[in-house]
Each structure stands twice: as structure tokens, then as C-alpha cells.
Chain A
Amino acid sequence: MYCGVKSYKTMTINEIQNQIIEEFSIFTDWMDKYQYIIDLGKNLPIIDEADKKDENLIKGCQSRVWLICSEKDGKLFFRADSDAIITKGIISLLIRVYNEQTPKDILDSNLHFIDTIGLKANLSPTRANGLVSMIKQIKIYALAFAEKDVK
């Protein structure tokens, strides 16, 4: 169960990814892995109804995702929700990786942990669960804030 103690300096994206990979390595059974992801989803803070507006919505065929991004002191903060719990669980991991990172670090990053922990199928565009679009959207936000910084 993730309740990791954060050091004063935020871990890098890759450090967090490796931490997640290690946590998942204890699972030998698919169902245990999924139960863990479901529990993560259940524990992800719900966003306000007010934030569930169309401009934050990423629509998929099987489930919907809402993503809100804010910036503070050169770092990006994300909140997200979904009406599908497994998607929400994966969102929880993605936020753990991207939260409080700089736009540059987000743009330079390579998301490999999903594949390593065996959830590649969930990120397939054909799954239409909004996750691929959500990651794209995170990168778009990072790009927008990075350009803003330059100006």
C-alpha cells in the first residue's frame, strides 16, 4: 500500500517509476495486482463535482477521465478522476509519477513503468478508456507551461 514518505526534495520521475515497479514485483497473481490497483483507485481523492466540467473531460468509449492541472513555483500539480475504478487506480500511479515535477522533466520523461508492471494493454488506444489521451494531455499542459516559462 502506497504511503511512502517523501523526502524534502521530490523524487525524480524515474525514481518514482522504479519505486512503483518494485512495489508491483511482489505480485505473482493477476488478480492480486488488480485488487491493489482497484484499492488505489478507491483511495484516490475524488475531485469536486464543480471540476467535472467539459473542459477538464477526456472522453473515452468505456470510461471518462477528468484532469485538472495547476502550476506553482515552476512545478505542475495534477488532480484527476474517472468513472472506472481500474482506470482511476492507474491514474493514481500516473499522478504519483508526474505530480510536483517541472514541465521540462515531464516533457523529457519516458513512461516505462506501465509496461513493466504488465498493464500495457490498459494504455492501448484501442481500449478507449481515456488514459492515452490523459497522458497526452499532461504532456500538452507541460509544453504549455514550459513555453510560458520561456516567455
Chain B
Amino acid sequence: METKSIIENIRKKFPALAQQMNGQPLIYLDNAATSQKPVEVLELLDKMNAKVNANVHRAMYQLSDEATGLYEGARERVRQFINAPDRENIIYTSGTTASINLVASSFCQKYLMRGDVIIITADSHHSNIVPWQLAAERIGAEIRILPIDGRGALRVDMLDKMLDNKVRIVAATHISNVLGIVNPVNKIIQIAHSHNIPVLIDGAQGIVHTYVDVQKMDCDFYAFSAHKIYGATGVGILYGKSYYLDEMPPYMGGGDMVGTVTYQKTSYAPLPLKFEAGTPNFIGASTLKPALDFAASVRDGEVGEAVKASEQEIIKYMLNALPDEVGDVEVYGLPEGKVSSLASDDAGDKIPLFSFNIKGCNAGDVAQLLDKMGIAVRTGLMCAEPLLNSLGVTSVIRASFAPYNTLDEAKKFIECVKRAKKMLM
């Protein structure tokens, strides 16, 4: 089947794409913020809310078994998707931010002392900065930054020297939500491990655009959100090696994470439940099964090839059209001449995410006008203020594409950006 038809078929699975925004057909280009949901996810949400709504892990009736089956079935799907060794390594959280907070709190409580060091990468999202700051403040630890170069590439060459005997963990970004380039995480993990230092990877964008094999990558923690990979909002995953998860104290206390409870003391449930206090978002979490099934379907086989081709086309088009057709544009995060594809884990590859500014135009002004033309993009600090500071800007415009976006949409986008620029200048 022709690429265009394959993409059309994918689009048909997403009811949200058929709507209008401000009287114009919606062109949704904010997928890095959150993705749209395919019918399989929407149907499961409806089904569970209406017919399979019973608390999980607790009861002895069929409805509860069914809900538990869907919830645990989704956990197993996640395990497969990232090739984790065991169910106990997959912790459900409320999102990437919650996952990183869990590690920052629990890991640092167990393993860090006053004067110890946490390393984070300079391209980090606030969710990979603030949790570590909170932990560091509590413990009296210090945060060090692995810098980026002028192009936005991580200075991995500097990492080895930074890893002295005070460093306890490295928290690195898989793919920056501003720069859209795959970081050399395999190399970072290799270097850190040569010093016996564990690595957490912020995989919010990485899970969507690369094949993540946590055993092959050998990361110690990997965090991501369901809602960015076609699943429901309010759900995330923390993958962790048993070696650490076994030793780390619980993060939140309450129901489900307990073994035996007295008023004085409590023993804890085994993994993964030890880190899952309270009634989970079991309906949202169950959507990870159809969501990851969909994600796998658009990266494998004939459909996968078509999506790869389409995304490559879009990347090539955008990287040319922004400077050449719009003009006076600064694009952040340019690949070293490599323009690549969905699901490649080659470091240096560009994903279909474009952050840029038009010289002389305020980003918010451009976005407001694009909104009126039916186009959804993100502007502002991108929750990465330190990164934007080091790029010398206070705001950027970001367009991020998913497999259901088309080259025609990219062209319409450029046309509308040109129109907005003309109005503003």
C-alpha cells in the first residue's frame, strides 16, 4: 500500500484529528506535550468505566479479577515493550515526573550523604531538575551539570572527569523536548558504569521515538509517561533494576504497598507493589496495553516502513522550509547532517520535533495567530528554562509531529507561519 494511504488509515484511528479548532481543520502539532488517543484506547476507557470498574488487587469477585487482569496485563505489555526482565521491575506511577521524584526521593534517601553529588544533563526538563534539587537540599548534596555544546549536543567527552568518588547517580535525558535529538545514552551509561555509578534516563520523549531495550541499554532506571505514547493521562512508568528497587525505601505509604500492618510498624509488599500506594489509576494504566500495541504497530512491518518514510520526509521538509521559506528563522537542535527515522536509536538522530524562533517576532504572538488558523503548537519555556537560558532565549515555538501527522500538514504549517510573520512584521 502507498505511504499516503497507510498514514490515512492511521489517522482514521484518531477521532480527535477530525475536529475543528477556531473554525479551521485542526492541525495538531503538540505531540511532545501529549499525544492523541487511538480508538482502541478510547474504547477501553469507555468499557472499563462502564463495565469493568472494580478496585484491583483487593477483592474476590469476578469484576475485580477482570479489572486486575487488564491492569496487570498492561504492566506485562510494558515489560515486553521495553524488554525488562521481570514484572517486579515495572512500577506504575502518575507520570514521568512522579517516576523521577520517586527515585530522587527514595534512592537519595538510601544512598546519598551530605557532600555527595548528583549529575544531571544540561538539556533536562524541569522534571529532571527540581526533584533532584529537592533531594539535594534535604540531604546537603550537590548538583553538577553535564553541559551541552553550541549545537545542543551533550558534552559526553566531559563526563568521565566529572565522575569522582562523590557522584552517586547520573540523571540523563534520552531526547530533549526542545532540541529533538537522540542523546548518546548508551555511551553515558557505559561511562557511568565504569565508575559503578547508576544512571536514570528521562525517557518521556525517548520511549516514543526510539526502540527502548532496558537490558541492552543497561540503564538502572527508565521513566516515561503513558499519555505521550497514545495512552491515557495520569499514568507513567518507572523501570528500575531489582538491585536498587529492593534496597530503596518506599516513597509513599498506604494501601496496597503493605505486607502486615500494626499501629506501630508495617512490613512492605514485595515489588512492584512496594512503590504503588493507594488505589492506582487502574483504568488509565490499562490503556497502556492498546497504546503500546498501537505504538508497536507503527514501527514494525509495512506500516512501520511507511511511517519511517513519512517522518523522514517531514523532517527533511521542515529543516529546509523553516530557514528557506519562512526566513529569519533560528532552529534549535540541528542534526549533524543526519536526518533519520522513527525508532532508530542511533545517537545524533533528529526526531520530528522542531523548536525555533523568527527573529523580531514574539513566540506567543506567532502561536496566537497559528491558533486562529487551526494549528496547535507550544510556545514558551518548554519547562526547560535553564536550557533556554543557555541557548540565549526566553521563549521558543515548537512543532512536534506524530505518525498520524502528514507532510501536507507540515506544508500548511509553514504557510501559516509565513502568514503570521507577515502580519507581525
Q: Give the interface of A toward B (CB within 8 A).
A: 30-31, 34-35, 38, 61-63, 83-87, 122, 128-129
Contact = CB atoms under 8 A, between A and B. Distances in A.
Contacts of B395: 62
Contact of A38 (B22, B23, B373, B424): B424
Given A84-B364, A85-B365, A34 B423 contact: yes
B369 interface: yes
Given A84-B364, A86-B368, A61 B423 contact: no
Interface residues of B, number: 16
A30 to B, nearest CB: 5
Contacts of A30: 22-23, 372
B380 A62 contact: yes
Nearest to B364: A62
Contacts of B177: none
Interface in B358-372: 362-365, 368-369, 372
Given A62-B380, A85-B365, 14 more contacts: A30-B23, A31-B369, A31-B423, A38-B365, A62-B362, A63-B362, A83-B362, A84-B362, A84-B365, A86-B364, A86-B365, A86-B368, A86-B369, A122-B368
Contacts, number: 42
Nearest to A85: B365
Task: Summarize A's interface: helix, strand, loop or mixed.
Answer: helix
Ranked nearest first, the 8 interchain pairs of A and B with the lowest CB-CB distance are A62-B364, A84-B362, A30-B372, A86-B365, A84-B365, A84-B364, A85-B365, A63-B364
Given A30-B22, A31-B372, A86-B368, A38 B423 contact: yes
A61 B424 contact: no
A61 B381 contact: yes
B379 interface: yes
Contacts of B381: 61
A84 to B, nearest CB: 4
18 contacts: A31-B372, A31-B373, A31-B423, A34-B368, A34-B369, A34-B372, A61-B381, A62-B363, A62-B364, A62-B395, A63-B364, A84-B364, A84-B365, A85-B362, A85-B365, A86-B365, A86-B368, A87-B365
- Of the listed residues B373, B381, B424, the one surrounded by the most CB atoms of chain A closer than 10 A to its CB is B424
Nearest to A83: B362
Task: Select the residue from B365, B372, B373, B381 with max chain A CB neighbours within 10 A.
Answer: B365
A91 to B, nearest CB: 13
Contacts of A87: 364-365
Given A30-B22, A30-B372, A35 B423 contact: yes
Contacts of A128: 380
Interface string B349-388: 0000000000000111100110011000001110000000
Among A31, A38, A62, find the residue whose CB has the most chain B CB atoms closer than 10 A: A62
Nearest to A84: B362
A86 B372 CA distance: 13
A7 to B, nearest CB: 33
Interface string B390-410: 000001000000000000000
Given A34-B369, A84-B365, A86-B368, A62 B379 contact: yes
Nearest to B369: A34
Nearest to B24: A30
A129 B368 CA distance: 11
A34 B370 CA distance: 11
A63 B424 CA distance: 15
Contacts of A86: 362, 364-365, 368-369
Nearest to B385: A61
A61 B380 CA distance: 7
B372 A85 contact: no
B155 to A, nearest CB: 29
Contacts of B423: 31, 34-35, 38
B206 to A, nearest CB: 26
Contacts of A38: 365, 423-424
Residue among B22, B362, B369, B423 with max Cβ neighbours from chain A (10 Å): B362
A83 B423 CA distance: 16
A63 B372 CA distance: 19
